[in-house]
Chain A
Amino acid sequence: MTYIGNKSDLRVVGTRPDRPDGVEKVTGRAVYGADFRLAGQLTGRILRSPHAHARIIKIDTSKAKALPGVKAVMTAEDLPNITSEEAFVGEGPTNFRDQSLNVMARGKVLYEGHAVAAVAAMSPSIAEAALALIEVTYEVLPHVIDVEEAMAPGAPILDENLFTAGVDPKPTTPSNIAKKIILKSGDIDAGFAKADVIAEGRYVTAAVHQAYIEPHACVATIGADGQATVYASSQGHFMIRSFCAKLLGMEISNIRVIPLEIGGGFGGKTIVYLEPVALKLSQISGKPVKLVMTREEVFRASGPTSGAVVEVKMGAMKDGTIVAAQAVLKYQAGAFPGSPVQPGLMCAFAMYDIANVHVTGYDVISNRAKVAAYRAPGAPISSYAAEQVVDDLARQLGMDAITIREKNAAKAGTKTVYGVTFPEIGYEAVLAAAKSHAHWKAPLGKNQGRGIATGFWFNIGGESSASVFVNEDGSVSVVSGSPDIGGSRASMAMMAAEVLGIPVDNVRPIIGDTASIGFTNVTGGSRVTYATGMATVQATEKVIEQLKQRAAMIWDISPDAVDWKDGQAVPAGANAGGFDPLSLAAIAAKAGKTGGPIGSEVSVNAQGAGPGFGAHICDVEVDRETGQTTIIRYTAIQDVGRAIHPSYVEGQIQGGAVQGIGWALNEEYIYGA
């Protein structure tokens, strides 16, 4: 296959064409989740718990059901009580039963904002009036918010059937610690014994929300024949289909999910909240149902990422060699197990080649909304702590912050604590770029300071599908299964145009629904450009093979005697014959006479994505009296591989940096204030 990353004569990849969905989005015509409507649709609303932790004694929906204009009322009793089952559907593992309980509380509410009932009515005001008529009797229970308080003996227990996994022997009493994970390499005690300097610290990070500007929204409809269609904004319409099927006890073939434009996600739209509820309300009422979250609901009941406590201890020799690295990560999972503590453990020290590493992670539930993926889930939390301790080592040794990182940099052949040996990687190149950047040497003013931190993310591949069709006039359609969250349609069109040797304007990229394209995993984990791009490139190559065959048929020569060059079929050499080149349009025009429509679909499970590294340099000025912190200068250096559309790569980096600034300075959840 064509390895776009290694080609030197690229014509489309690396340029900055206008994005194909640009005009729709700047004119307000793009249809996002809440913009979509079906004739006769009802308005849905969800009743949410006012308590952080309570037993549900009784839910009386009779008054709500009796209100004129109310067409459906549901609670968890209307959903199948499914058993525990691991699910690898979104970004990272989850559990179908937990998702069911999160979508609609059964027996207990586990956080303020937990859904307990839902209604569908003829108008928003009737739906809201109906919510007020639902009577829920709660027995309020003690609750716990803080991660360390949740771990402590005697803490209120959220789930009497949860016993800490990863502990031997198996515990006999339930705990809020869902899992303990240890990763280690070398001999940590021997490592510290060799150290000349030791640095350690305890770092606390706030839970922050992904805070996509578009609240969750969907419209669902199901007919008497059991055929269902869901229109939704998400990071994965196949993910929605899987969850709806499992949570409602439906067959996957009976559910079609049609992706709408997504107004941001950052990982937070890789799971379901509304779709199974809307489908159930549609089933009860016999009408389409629209559910849209308010911003308040988004903050109370969806996302965020884990707040955490991270304790790090590192030791280095006088020459700067880091000989030991130890960390304990305590990550909030929210009300159900499944924090990103595992990737946190894997990423904490992944930038470094350290002989002795010992990292321990705790996945801890508490009375908060269940966490969801957020930009390299788990990694910024542990890196934030580890990088400050590396800086402390450098200070103790009188070394430059970049020099100590260069001294210990992971490189090709470095074995990570999670067992993978790195191939050729870009961390040293990232450090070199940081060191040579004017920012690193620029003078600082009064009350100003400079920091640098580096980070790692695996990048993943996975399952993606794409199809490429040549239209009758020689224009090209590219269909993929990946929701476009930040410019992937542009990237797919550019890759197809590159391989075909045609202008990108001749390629129209769209996102296919679950019945129109092969299975495609969520847009997340930094996988789409790589995996869906691979499917697109391979499908385009298959199309080129067909185009060559058609040209061979037209010329009555062997397909081997045809080359594809600059968007045209040409004879492979002098012996092939003196034919004029055949353009894509010319071949397309004769497709009906040479074997029918030209197109190909490819599904891949992409492997071998290269890991990514970054270094950010930030200058701040701090008012010593008020603590007011102002960002003076910020430089981000990122090993991105081959940038398909550089503007959108820059945009990802800039947006990520600003989210990091928000996390560091402005954002948190405050409970009990």
Chain B
Amino acid sequence: MSKTHVTTTINGEPAEFLAEAGLSLLDALRDEVGLTGTKEGCGSGDCGACSVIVDDRLVCACLVLAVEAEGATIQTIEGVATGDTLHPLQRKFIEHAALQCGFCTPGFLVAAKSLLEKNNNPTETEVRFWLAGNLCRCTGYDKIVRAVMDAAAEMRGA
């Protein structure tokens, strides 16, 4: 089966890979590019563990074909921190114990970052609504919502 050459920008760096026609962006990121921080929980767009930002739009990487990423700018969990400085969301997730097993955490962080880039002062309801596409089976969500609210407050300088 012939493969398509795909050129993208991932976390600010040029990245290219070869993709079979049916390859998902998720599998391309994990298996071709080697960025395994983005997780597969369901492969059907239900759990949000593979949340990434493609050209400023939050998507489930399992529902995007890898070849569709041609020319796109992609942000993954690996690009959320700056060097060894954690993003406020990452710090607040640790501080609020907003993760237990941590498997859904990359998806939540990418989704929450996308929210705060669009709305820096979300209500609790807005946070819950935005994160409804991300499933966590461990925490019961309370600490996640608190962490996102707290990070938003810190980022506003409140």
- In angstroms, how far is the closest chain B Cβ from the Cβ of A529? 14
Bound-state CA distance A261–B100 (Å) is 11
The chain A residue with its CB closest to the CB of B142 is A654
Residues of A with C-beta under 8 A to B143: 647, 650-651, 654
- In angstroms, how far is the closest chain A Cβ from the Cβ of B138? 5
Bound-state CA distance A297–B37 (Å) is 22
Interface residues of B in 110-158 (CB under 8 A from A): 135-143
Interface residues of A in 174-229 (CB under 8 A from B): 210-215
Contact with A along B33-51 (1 / 0, CB 8 A): 0011111111110110100
Question: Which of A31-39, A304-312, A424-432, A453-461 lies on the face that meets chain B?
Answer: A31-39
Contact A487 B77 (CB under 8 A): no
Residues of B with C-beta under 8 A to A264: 100-101, 103, 137-138
Bound-state CA distance A211–B47 (Å) is 11
Residues of A with C-beta under 8 A to B100: 264, 485-487, 648, 651-652, 655
Contact with B along A243-271 (1 / 0, CB 8 A): 00000000000000000011111100000
Bound-state CA distance A323–B76 (Å) is 61
Contact A295 B43 (CB under 8 A): yes
Q: Could you say which of A27, A32, A655 contacts B140, with CB atoms under 8 Å apart?
A: A655
Question: Which of B53-61, B65-73, B86-94 lies on the face that meets chain A?
Answer: B86-94
In the complex with contacts A26-B90, A28-B76, A214-B36 CB distance below 8 A: no
Verify if A170 is at the interface (C-beta below 8 Å from B). Answer: no
Contact B94 A654 (CB under 8 A): no
Bound-state CA distance A388–B158 (Å) is 47
Contact A25 B36 (CB under 8 A): no
Verify if A19 is at the interface (C-beta below 8 Å from B). Answer: yes
Verify if A30 is at the interface (C-beta below 8 Å from B). Answer: yes
Contact A25 B78 (CB under 8 A): no
Verify if A541 is at the interface (C-beta below 8 Å from B). Answer: no
Contact A263 B102 (CB under 8 A): yes
Bound-state CA distance A264–B100 (Å) is 8
Contact A213 B141 (CB under 8 A): no
Contact A655 B103 (CB under 8 A): no
The size class of the interface chain A forms with chain B is: 35 or more
The chain B residue with its CB closest to the CB of A25 is B102
Contact A263 B81 (CB under 8 A): no
Interface residues of A in 267-308 (CB under 8 A from B): 294-296
The chain B residue with its CB closest to the CB of A264 is B101
Q: Could you say which of B38, B101, B139 contacts A28, with CB atoms under 8 Å apart?
A: B38
The chain B residue with its CB closest to the CB of A261 is B102
Residues of B with C-beta under 8 A to A658: 140-141
- In angstroms, how far is the closest chain B Cβ from the Cβ of A452? 19
Verify if A21 is at the interface (C-beta below 8 Å from B). Answer: yes
- In angstroms, how far is the closest chain B Cβ from the Cβ of A41? 11
Contact A215 B41 (CB under 8 A): yes
Residues of A with C-beta under 8 A to B77: 27-28
The chain A residue with its CB closest to the CB of B40 is A34
- In angstroms, how far is the closest chain B Cβ from the Cβ of A268? 10
- In angstroms, how far is the closest chain B Cβ from the Cβ of A487? 6
Residues of B with C-beta under 8 A to A214: 39, 41, 101, 103
The size class of the interface chain B forms with chain A is: 35 or more
Bound-state CA distance A647–B139 (Å) is 11
In the complex with contacts A26-B90, A27-B80, A651-B140 CB distance below 8 A: yes
Q: Could you say which of B81, B93, B139 contacts A655, with CB atoms under 8 Å apart?
A: B139
Bound-state CA distance A35–B77 (Å) is 14
In the complex with contacts A213-B47, A214-B41, A295-B43, A28-B99 CB distance below 8 A: no
Contact with B along A624-665 (1 / 0, CB 8 A): 000000000000000000000101101110111111000000
Contact B47 A25 (CB under 8 A): no
Bound-state CA distance A266–B136 (Å) is 13
Contact with A along B1-25 (1 / 0, CB 8 A): 1000000000000000000101000
Contact A125 B1 (CB under 8 A): yes
Verify if A608 is at the interface (C-beta below 8 Å from B). Answer: no
Q: Could you say which of B47, B105, B139 contacts A26, with CB atoms under 8 Å apart?
A: B105
Verify if B97 is at the interface (C-beta below 8 Å from A). Answer: yes
Residues of A with C-beta under 8 A to B97: 16, 19, 487, 645, 647-648, 650-651
Residues of A with C-beta under 8 A to B135: 213
- In angstroms, how far is the closest chain B Cβ from the Cβ of A646? 9
Verify if A449 is at the interface (C-beta below 8 Å from B). Answer: no
Bound-state CA distance A659–B80 (Å) is 30
Contact B140 A657 (CB under 8 A): yes
Bound-state CA distance A28–B35 (Å) is 8
Q: Could you say which of A211, A215, A651 contacts B139, with CB atoms under 8 Å apart?
A: A651
Residues of A with C-beta under 8 A to B41: 213-215, 263, 295
The chain B residue with its CB closest to the CB of A653 is B140
Verify if A595 is at the interface (C-beta below 8 Å from B). Answer: no
In the complex with contacts A26-B90, A295-B44, A35-B36 CB distance below 8 A: yes
Bound-state CA distance A212–B47 (Å) is 11
Residues of A with C-beta under 8 A to B28: none
Contact B99 A22 (CB under 8 A): yes
Residues of A with C-beta under 8 A to B35: 28
Residues of B with C-beta under 8 A to A265: 101
Bound-state CA distance A26–B96 (Å) is 12
Residues of A with C-beta under 8 A to B38: 28
Verify if B104 is at the interface (C-beta below 8 Å from A). Answer: yes
The chain B residue with its CB closest to the CB of A265 is B101
The chain A residue with its CB closest to the CB of B96 is A647
Q: Could you say which of A22, A125, A296, A651 contacts B94, with CB atoms under 8 Å apart?
A: A22
Residues of A with C-beta under 8 A to B40: 34, 215
Bound-state CA distance A652–B139 (Å) is 7
The chain B residue with its CB closest to the CB of A31 is B36
Bound-state CA distance A487–B40 (Å) is 22
Residues of B with C-beta under 8 A to A212: 101, 103, 137
Contact A30 B102 (CB under 8 A): yes
Bound-state CA distance A27–B84 (Å) is 10
Contact B39 A26 (CB under 8 A): no
Bound-state CA distance A26–B143 (Å) is 14
- In angstroms, how far is the closest chain B Cβ from the Cβ of A28? 2
Verify if B109 is at the interface (C-beta below 8 Å from A). Answer: yes
Contact B90 A27 (CB under 8 A): yes
- In angstroms, how far is the closest chain B Cβ from the Cβ of A456? 21
Contact A213 B39 (CB under 8 A): yes
Bound-state CA distance A28–B36 (Å) is 7
Interface residues of A in 392-437 (CB under 8 A from B): none
**The 5 nearest A-B residue pairs measured at CB:** A28-B37, A263-B103, A25-B102, A647-B97, A654-B140
Task: Report 30 cross-chain contacts, Cβ distance below 8 Å, ordered by A residue.
Answer: A21-B102, A22-B93, A23-B94, A26-B109, A27-B78, A27-B80, A28-B35, A28-B36, A28-B77, A35-B30, A35-B36, A210-B137, A211-B137, A213-B39, A214-B101, A215-B41, A261-B102, A263-B41, A263-B101, A263-B103, A265-B101, A295-B43, A295-B46, A486-B101, A487-B97, A645-B97, A647-B97, A651-B143, A654-B139, A655-B139
Extra contacts besides A264-B103, A486-B101 (16): CB < 8 Å: A24-B102, A26-B105, A27-B80, A28-B77, A28-B80, A30-B102, A214-B103, A263-B102, A264-B101, A264-B137, A265-B101, A650-B97, A651-B140, A655-B137, A657-B140, A659-B140
